Structure 1
Amino acid sequence: MSPALIIIGLFVVAPILYAVFLSLNKVELIGASSFEFRGLDNYAKVALDDRALIALKNTAFYVVIVVPVQTLLALVLAASLNAGMKGEKFFRIVYFLPTLTSSAVLTLIFMWMYNQNGLINKFLEFLHLPTYNWIGDPDVALIAIMIMNIWATAPFYMVIYLAALQDVPESYYEAAELDGANAFQKFRHITVPHLRPVTSFVVIMGLIGTFQLFDQSYIFSGGSGGPNNSTLTVVLLIYQYAFKTLGTMGYATALAFMLALIILAATLLQRKFSKEETLY
């Protein structure tokens, strides 16, 4: 076990312990390193930091919208592909293509599409619908990122659901059909209950991924979190404090630990609720 323990100690335990040390100090790592012990001041400072509160609000709004929508969309896509429709293999490939695309490349493509004279606004004009300044308007910038990420991540979870659907006994559907159940009733009373453990896994993975939103927000805003802090997320704020502002590495580490605790709490709550549901 020694090789594994050494690797875990060097690359997991030691960085965590060092991060704890940094979070309790005012740290300057550029040039001559300096440390000034602050205790829990870095953690208390979060409540007084307006940008931290804005980032937390944006991240929470993003999580609350994206996780349920991408989970439901993935389930519906998987169920439709599992129903034996024509061209099933072709649609599986087409649906999964967004997941194979680099996140940075995907963001740049959508930024081109979101341009005021881009493809999406042209399509909206064709339908005689209102157009938007997707990148420059604070009211819609975060929503634009949500749409992009739902489109990109739902196919990944769709594949997980497709694998799980293979384990649902076909005899259940046949019995329900003999009892006069329609397609929606079979989906609601057979498919969804049998996929609860998988749904729990998908939601937990979605929570972890959405709370850690960084690259799309960084590229969209050029690293600023704009316009008007509308795309500022907690991880982007941590990056700004850690590498863009002098003397705030300790505070950035404290923010990172608080984000980890929030993710842990959200994950445990989801697991608790999913276990309660399986009792019925």
Structure 2
Amino acid sequence: MKRTGSQRKSRFDQAMAGYLFLLPAIVSLCVFLIGPIIYALYISFFHFSFLDPQNKAFIGLKNYIHLFRDPLFLRALWNTTLYAIVVVPVQTAIALFLALTVNNLKGKTFFRIVYYLPTVTSTVATSLMFMFIFEPQGLLNNFLKVFGIHGPNYFNSPTFALPSIMAIAIWSSVGQYMIIYLAGLQDLPAEVYEAAALDGATGWRLLKYITLPLLKRTTFLNVVLSLIGTFQVFDQMDVISQGTGGPLNSTLSVVLDLFNQAMSQNMGYASAIGFVLFIIILILTVIQKYFFERNDEAGV
């Protein structure tokens, strides 16, 4: 059936109305996100300062080449990678354990609120609270003294500063991933468990062969979100080290290094750091996607 002119005009008007509703969001996205990203990519090829933009100098790939010769950036990249390697699996495992536990308890709403509260608490406030707990005469060391253990000065020790920040990150973020796991658990089909129960599967076998495989996509989401969050860590390290990344650069992260470079008006170099970080996160995400899809195809 051929459409009449009035029908075509009506569909055109509806489409235009939809685009008009989208226009504010599209303009906002272009002005505040896409535009700055393109401009940051542009200035990453320059020696550039916002205090003297007229005297920018094109230097090509020198900012990117210098990155991998800069011992400060390499130390920041190592700290961030180590931070992610520890925090992501521990955080994911604890979140799964909490979700499995809470899912079988009455009053799920109460536990959701309790575990989610640290996630919505200010990172600065959380960092200050843990600085009080981890100080030389703080709560943790006073507790250890009961057992005859003399705790270190955590945040002033190159050995203990980064692990202490890892503990803060795990405590403050695990509730977010627990909530996502809870949503995934409540969406699992009951008939699969009923069929498995008829076959005699219980306890660990149910968890291993039914629950974990069905939660694979939820786990992928949690791991990707956690990985992005850990590679973008900034607040805790900035507050605890007072912006220095100390002691001895042991808490310097890639984003903190980027921030310090930008505050020094080395904007071209800071932009290069940002794009290298983006590429690293993108590559890791693609690798994880490939790994999970391959396991799906293998039926693991």
TM range (shorter): over 0.9
Instruction: Return the letter of the residue paired with 1:260.
Output: F
How far has the Cα of 1:88 moved from its partner?
A: 4.0
1:8 to 24, 29, 32: 29
Residue 77 of structure 1, aligned match among 98, 105, 128: 98
Partner residue in 2 for 1:241: 261
Q: TM-score, normalised by structure 1?
A: 0.93
| Structure 2: runs of 5+ lacking an equivalent | 1-18
Matched, 1:181 2:177: no
TM-score (norm 2): 0.87
Query: What letter matches 1:152 in structure 2?
Result: S
What aligned pairs does 1:1-150 form with structure 2 within 5 A after superposition?
A: 1=19, 3=23, 4-30=25-51, 33-83=54-104, 85-150=105-170
Report the residue type matching 2:217 in the other structure.
Answer: P
Structure 1 segments (4+ residues) deviating >6 Å: none
C-alpha distance in 1, partners of 2:110/2:215? Answer: 24
- Matched with 2:293 is 275
Match for residue 273 of structure 2?
255
- Mapped partners of 1:42, 1:87: distance in 2: 55
Partner deviation per Cα, 1:160-213 (whole Å, 9 max, x = no partner): 111111111233334434444342221121111111011111111111111000
Q: Describe the superposition over 1:37-81 as per-residue Cα deviations: whole angstroms up to 9, x where unpaired.
A: 101100000121000000000000011111111111111100111
**CA distance in 1: counterparts of 2:153 and 2:208, whole angstroms:** 39
In 2, Cα distance between equivalents of 1:160 and 1:51 = 36
Which residue of structure 1 lines up, in the alignment, with residue 8 of structure 2? Answer: none
Letter in 1 for 2:180: I
- Alpha-carbon distance, 1:15 to partner: 1.1
Count of equivalent residues: 277
1:198-229 CA-to-partner distances (Å, cap 9, x unmatched) read 11111111111110000100001000000000
Query: Are 1:199 and 2:219 matched, yes or no?
Result: yes
Q: Give 1:135 deviation, angstroms.
A: 0.6
> What's the % identity of the aligned pairs?
43
What displacement does 1:278 show? Answer: 1.1
CA change 1:278–1:111 in 2 (3 A) is: same
Take 1:95 and 1:180, find their aligned partners in 2: how far apart are those partners? Answer: 34
CA change 1:126–1:55 in 2 (3 A) is: same
